[in-house]
Structure 1
Amino acid sequence: MRITNSMMSSTMLMNLNNSLRRMNKGNTQMVTGKKFSMPSDDPIGVSKSLALNTAVAQLERHKKNAEDATSWFQITETAVAEVSNILLRAKELAVSADGLESKVDKEKIKVEIDQLTEELVNLSNTSYSGKHVFSGYRTEQKLLDENGKYINEIKNKEKMDYQVSIGDTIDVNTLGHKLFGIAPNVPNPADLDTVNTGGTTPNDGANAGETAQLIGVFEALSKALGDDNQTDIGKSIGRIEKHLDNVLSVRGEIGAKTRRMEMSIDRIEQDIINFTALLSKNEDADMAEVIMKFKNDENVYRAALSTGAKVIQPSLVDFIR
């Protein structure tokens, strides 16, 4: 086959372009620090990176949910701890009043009990980021009105779930009636003697307008102090103790969930580190290798230019000039 000058020129240009493409790829790798910038560079590597990036993004979402849940638990636990402190103080006052003869001293204790009752109502309406933590689904509304009655219906099924890993959720809200109880017929004493936290089925709970049982206990104690009724003052001590046990149980549940979230966050953070390391290994370029290869491609390109200039023979036009 006859080799023409045109064929030699075309072959040389094709080889030069190939060298330039390799140099351009090497230059891109040096600038970006990545092995590939387009799917065509490494289809398998790109597919793996997409999967790893998706996994890391999902872990980041789960971490954010777990951190938000932890903050929610901390706010809730602080409020529940305050309720516990109020109950301890109320018990102390009731025990003190149970042994008093002076009606004047009981009136002084009554004033403090009334103040503690108001504080209980305030705590029932604790909020986190503008959301009321005890109000079930209706987080934009308070749990209790100023008289200690439930503003809205709240049922056992009104749990707010946060996804903290694949296939794993945790309910973050503590339903108000589980903490404050229900006593629809206050001041009926029978409604105060046993803690009523609203049953166990999903549709059980508190109805709008019903009195929070814990508020009823405090109001009954206040009335007994005002009436100088030693019998009812004595009964209030046992009622307070029962509610204190319930509050401590609720607080324990919140504490357990908080610890679970702390462990979840630690695990998620470690998973993020591991997946990020895999991602880096998959797509980050070895800069020493890239630079060495780039210099080699550059030398090949320069040699090709020099050789091509010698191989391509002068044409008739060159002689005419």
Structure 2
Amino acid sequence: MRVTNNMITYNFLTSLNKSLERQNKIQEQLTDGKQLHRPSDNPVKSIRALRANVSLVENEQYTQNLNDAISWMESTDSAMSNLSSIAIKFKELALSADGTKPPEAYKAIAAEMDGLINQAVTIGNTKLGDRYIFSGQQDKTLPFVRTDDTVTYYGDNNKISMQIKAGVTTPTQDSVNLTGAAIFGANNEMLQHMIEIKSQLETGTPDLNVVLNTGLTNLDVDSSKLLEAQTQLGARMSSYLLAENMLEKANVVITGDVAANEDLDIPKAIIDFKTSETVYKNALSVGAKIMPASLVDFLK
């Protein structure tokens, strides 16, 4: 077969353009340190990187849910500890009503108890951001309102759950909240028992059996329920903290996978670029020598 000048020129320029394309590709990679800019760069690595990035996005949402859930439970735990302290102080005041005091002393104790009841209601209305933590799913509604000696609950008894892993959440198991019933009882019994004791002492001539026997027994039961709910909350919080730790470790592995598939080996790329640049320049030099005239004609 006869080889013409045009064939030589065409083959040379085709080879030269491929060399230039490779050089430009490496230069593009060096610009941002990424080896993948389009699926055709490396189809297998592109698929792996895509899957890893999707997993990272999903885990980012799970991480946010975990952070929100843990913050919610920490606020709840702190509020319940404060309620337990109030219950202890209230029982101490009740025990001080030992039948040896004048009427004004009982009334003074009642006034202090009234302040503790108000504090308990305030804790029941604790907010995290703009959400009431003890209102159930009605978390934009003020849960507890005290009118004289009646406390009304306006929240609901529904659980709030946050998805922290792939799959279906179970509100009864994965709930992050406690409702009003969990802290004060289904009908605000704890607050009502406090009010009953306080009301006895306000008279100045209290029925000490109601105060020291029935009243304190009821408060002991209420405190035990409060502690039990707090313990269950602590167990759930521990599982969420463990899930957070596991998710952080998983993210480290996935981030490594992304880097392995996307990130450029800079030192190697620099060497490849220099090599490609040298090959391209040498090709230009050789081409100019073997076809000085035909190349100019072709380019015209």
* TM more than 0.5: yes
Q: How far off its partner does 1:16 sit?
A: 0.8
Q: Give yes or no for contact 1:221–1:236 (8 Å, CA) kept in 2.
A: yes
Question: Does the residue aligned with 1:149 lie in a helix, a strand or coil?
Answer: strand
2:100 and 2:265 map into 1 onto residues whose CA distance is 84
1:225 and 1:133 map into 2 onto residues whose CA distance is 32
- How much identity, in percent, do the aligned residues show? 29
Letter in structure 1 aligned against 2:255: T
2:95 and 2:151 map into 1 onto residues whose CA distance is 27
1:98 and 1:250 map into 2 onto residues whose CA distance is 32
> Which position in structure 2 is the counterpart of 1:186?
none
> Which position in structure 2 is the counterpart of 1:149?
151
Q: How far off its partner does 1:144 sit?
A: 1.3
Residues 6-85 of structure 1 mapped to structure 2, 5 A cutoff:
6-85=6-85
> Which position in structure 1 is the counterpart of 2:178?
174
Alignment RMSD (CA, Å): 1.7
Q: How far off its partner does 1:257 sit?
A: 2.1
1:153 and 1:134 map into 2 onto residues whose CA distance is 7
Q: Please, what TM-score do these two structures have when normalized by structure 1? A: 0.85
Letter in structure 2 aligned against 1:149: V
- Stretches of structure 1 that go unaligned for 5 or more consecutive residues are 184-211
Q: How far off its partner does 1:168 sit?
A: 6.4
1:303 and 1:141 map into 2 onto residues whose CA distance is 77
Q: How far off its partner does 1:153 sit?
A: 5.8
Structure 1 runs, 4 residues or longer, greater than 6 Å off: none
> Which position in structure 2 is the counterpart of 1:97?
97
1:223 and 1:5 map into 2 onto residues whose CA distance is 113
Residues 215-294 of structure 1 mapped to structure 2, 5 A cutoff:
215-227=191-203, 228-234=206-212, 235-294=214-273
1:68-123 alpha-carbon deviations (Å, 9 max, x no partner): 11111111111111110111011111111134342222111111111111111111
2:82 and 2:168 map into 1 onto residues whose CA distance is 31
1:129 and 1:29 map into 2 onto residues whose CA distance is 45
Structure 1's 128 and 153: CA in aligned 2 closer, same or farther, altered over 3 A?
A: closer
Structure 1's 255 and 237: CA in aligned 2 closer, same or farther, altered over 3 A?
A: same
Q: Give yes or no for contact 2:146–2:152 (8 Å, CA) kept in 1.
A: no
Question: Does the residue aligned with 2:34 lie in a helix, a strand or coil?
Answer: coil
More helix by share: 2
1:219 and 1:178 map into 2 onto residues whose CA distance is 19
1:57 and 1:182 map into 2 onto residues whose CA distance is 41
Q: How far off its partner does 1:62 sit?
A: 1.0
Q: How far off its partner does 1:173 sit?
A: 1.1
1:2 and 1:58 map into 2 onto residues whose CA distance is 62
2:100 and 2:192 map into 1 onto residues whose CA distance is 23
Letter in structure 2 aligned against 1:29: Q
Structure 1's 301 and 153: CA in aligned 2 closer, same or farther, altered over 3 A?
A: closer
1:222 and 1:279 map into 2 onto residues whose CA distance is 64
Aligned length: 287
Q: Give yes or no for contact 1:67–1:261 (8 Å, CA) kept in 2.
A: no
Letter in structure 2 aligned against 1:291: I
